[in-house]
Amino acid sequence: MSEFNEFDQQGSAPNRETGSIISHAFEMYKGVLGYAVVAMIVYMLGGYIIQLIFGIDSASMVEEMRESGGNFNYWSTPGLPLYMGASSLFGLLLSPLYVGLIYIVNKYNTKNPIEFSDLFIGYRQNFVNILIYSLLTWLISSVALALCVLPIIFVYPLLLIGYPILLFENASAIDALSKSFNIAKENYGTFLATGLLGVLISFAGIFLCGIGLILTAPFIMIVMYSTYCAYLGKPRQIMFKQP
């Protein structure tokens, strides 16, 4: 069975304040930007291929939504239900990539050499729990969105550090969800402000003709890592050992 071997390394951790956490995340992000861009390119290419398979033109669909005046019927669009299902499945299968990016950030923070294969560590370590956790958070977020946009704003901070817990503590999906919820509940104001600011920065790329999302979207994953460091301490660098 695979396992992690841990050892202490140098590195930084922010204070338990939103400004300190976001500042720390920026410093980390500058060091791993190339890997973050690769992760986003993989995600966007996959989404584009799925669109081609199901004959969906997202640009045309957005234009139709604008012209419909709010009366656009998603489910009457040919191929859209299957496309939405395939996109959701694709997003779920890519969730270990997010964990890999967090792993790379920790290697950068602890001044350890980074390898390209590190981006895929989530597919080798705790893979099933990462998928289960991603599915659970997707369900929770979907219910929150169905109740209107506002609930997801208040629910999201409770899920903020689940992925780092899955990686650094090799936790089960339920344990990661429970621990993230409990820590965020006790420090909700900071988690809410940090999560909102992290999401806003991540979506800032929309204003750069959309392509800027490749640069900004992964930032929220770095915010998760920095928040974990602030509240649970800088994790010791973990090295994956083959069976």
pLDDT digits (tens, 9 = 90+) for 196-228: 999 999 888 777 665 677 888 899 999 999 999
pLDDT value for 235: 84
Q: How far apart are CA 184 and CA 224, in angstroms?
A: 12
The pLDDT tens digits of the residues spanning 74-103 come to 555 555 566 666 777 888 888 999 999 999
Environment class of 38 (CB within 10 Å of its CB; exposed 0-12, middle 13-18, buried 19+): middle
Q: Find out whether 79 and 54 touch, Cβ atoms under 8 Å.
A: yes
Q: Which residue type occupies 122? A: G
Confidence of residue 73 (pLDDT cuts 50, 70, 90): low
DSSP assignment letter at 160: T
- Provide the residue ranges of all domains of the chain, joining segments of one domain with +: 3-241
Q: How far apart are CA 169 and CA 91, in angstroms?
A: 23
Residue with the larger pLDDT of the pair 65 and 223: 223
Single pTM value for the model: 0.83
pLDDT surpassing 70 at residue 237: no
**Phi and psi (nearest 5°) for 170?**
50, 40
Of 117, 101, 123, 122, the closest CA to residue 31 belongs to 101
* Residue % of the chain over a pLDDT of 70: 76
